[in-house]
């Protein structure tokens, strides 16, 4: 997992080759030291400056590039001291489960519209929840050694594989994600970040809360203060919602104690006994 303990943000206003000024920011992480993170961020910034001054267009948000700048909230280790999972806070403030071995797939399901219904007259399937749940069942029946826990989310379904460990960078994992119909960006992120990811707390806009006022790492006390105020409001609002509801369990239910810990952690966040809306 590319999860870093130390982060540094380097910033500089530079002139584009076309003559206008741009405020450039680079963030880099390290598990060695704060200085190592600082050196990496400064080096990345200088590379951006060189590219910009030659007139190159920069990719401003390189999601999936393998180095997500997220605050580490908690790390989970196995009985041998190996890091098996981590909780981080993403750019819009939600808590994310990162795991190197427990296969997790999110399946986005778009609302069915009149175009989908029209095309179904010509044999194209309507890819609603029923379609995807049938697909999940078929995948399990094709390989009965697999076991799944299926959850419903606000925008689709989530599947956790319970029967064995998976390497998120492997062709096997990528192939299974593709069978489930996972988003291509998520598939790339799993490879580059070397872990599977699952959001554990609601998206703020679904709780009628704005995005955080700044990005991590926050460089001064004023940014920290505004973020703490935002976090207090987000936590007040988010407890009125849940992220998942459990739908069914299919096939092989074997879970190692290590994987069971991660599933239990996931469920402790996303499942609620009370009737709460999904967010």
Q: Which of 55-64, 170-179, 241-250 has the lowest mean pLDDT?
A: 55-64
pLDDT band at 190 (very low <50, low <70, confident <90, very high): very high
- Does the residue 86 lie in any domain? yes
Predicted pLDDT of residue 120? 77
What is the predicted pLDDT for the residue at 64?
41
Specify the pLDDT at position 60. Answer: 53
* β strands within 188-276, DSSP E: 196-199, 244-251
Please indicate, yes or no, whether residues 12 and 143 belong to a single structural domain of this protein. no
Q: From its phi and psi, is residue 165 left (phi > 0), alpha (psi between -120 and 50) or beta?
A: beta
Does the pLDDT at position 123 exceed 80? no
Give me the mean pLDDT over the 102-111 stretch: 93
How far apart (Å, rounded) are the C-alpha atoms in residues 37 and 29?
5
Average pLDDT over residues 180-192: 92
Residue 254 has pLDDT above 90, yes or no: no
Q: In angstroms, rounded to a whole number, what is the distance separating the alpha carbons of residues 72 and 75? A: 7
Same domain, 54 and 73: no
Say yes or no to pLDDT of 63 above 60. Answer: no
pLDDT band per the 50, 70, 90 thresholds, residue 48: confident
Q: 146 and 252 in one domain?
A: yes
- Are 55 and 96 members of one domain? no
Residue 27 lies in a domain: yes
The total of other beta-carbon atoms located within 10 Å of residue 101's CB is 20
CB contact at 8 A, 265 and 107: no
- Compute how many other C-beta atoms are within 10 angstroms of the C-beta atom of residue 41: 23
Residues 108 and 30 in one domain: no
**Residue 276 in domain:** no
Instruction: Please determine, for residue 197, whether its predicted confidence score (pLDDT) is greater than 50.
Output: yes
Position 262 pLDDT exceeds 70? yes
Mean pLDDT of 101-125: 84
Residue 71 CB: number of other CB atoms within 10 A?
Answer: 15
Domain count, the chain: 2
**CA atoms of 96 and 81, how far apart (whole Å):** 21
With respect to residue 256, please indicate whether it lies within any of the assigned structural domains.
Answer: yes
User: Is 75 in the same domain as 52?
Assistant: no
Residues spanned by the domain of 112? 69-270
Among 64-78, 185-199, 212-226, the minimum mean pLDDT is found in 64-78
CA distance 176 to 191: 13
> Is 214 part of a structural domain of the chain?
yes
Helix axis angle, 171-180 relative to 129-142, nearest 10°? Answer: 140
Judge if 201 and 149 occupy the same domain: yes
Q: Decide if pLDDT at 132 tops 80.
A: yes
Q: What is residue 245's predicted lDDT score, i.e. its pLDDT?
A: 95
DSSP state, residue 205:
G
Residue-level pLDDT at 58: 67
Q: Nearest 5 degrees, angle CA 99-CA 175-CA 94?
A: 35
| 82 and 120 share one domain | yes
Output the pLDDT for position 138: 96
The distance of Cα 67 from the centroid of its chain, to the nearest Å, equals 12
Q: What residues contact 91, with CB distance under 8 A and at least 6 apart?
A: 69, 70, 212, 215, 216
Is 180 within a domain?
yes
d(CA 43, CA 50): 11
Can you give the pLDDT at residue 59?
Answer: 62
């Amino acid at each position: 997992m590319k999860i870093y303990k130390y982060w540094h943000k380097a910033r500089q206003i530079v002139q584009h080759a076309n003559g206008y000024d741009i405020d450039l920011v680079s963030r880099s992480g390290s598990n060695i030291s704060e200085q190592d993170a600082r050196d990496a961020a400064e080096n990345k910034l200088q590379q951006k400056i060189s590219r910009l001054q030659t007139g190159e267009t920069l990719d401003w948000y390189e999601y999936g590039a393998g180095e997500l700048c997220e605050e580490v909230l908690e790390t989970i280790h196995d009985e041998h001291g190996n890091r098996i999972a981590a909780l981080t806070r993403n750019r819009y403030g939600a808590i994310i489960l990162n795991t190197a071995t427990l296969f997790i797939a999110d399946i986005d399901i778009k609302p069915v519209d009149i175009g989908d219904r029209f095309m179904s007259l010509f044999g194209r399937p309507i890819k609603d929840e029923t379609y995807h749940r049938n697909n999940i069942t078929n995948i399990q029946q094709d390989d009965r050694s697999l076991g799944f826990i299926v959850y419903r989310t606000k925008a689709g379904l989530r599947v956790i594989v319970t029967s064995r460990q998976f390497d998120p960078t492997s062709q096997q994992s990528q192939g299974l994600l593709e069978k489930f119909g996972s988003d291509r960006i998520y598939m790339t992120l799993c490879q580059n970040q070397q872990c599977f990811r699952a959001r554990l707390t609601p998206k703020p806009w679904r709780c009628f809360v704005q995005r955080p006022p700044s990005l991590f790492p926050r460089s001064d006390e004023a940014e920290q203060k505004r973020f703490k105020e935002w976090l207090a409001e987000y936590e007040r609002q988010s407890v009125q919602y849940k992220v998942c509801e459990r739908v069914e369990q299919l096939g092989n239910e074997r879970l190692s104690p290590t994987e069971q810990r991660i599933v239990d952690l996931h469920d402790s966040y996303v499942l609620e006994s009370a009737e709460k809306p999904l967010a």
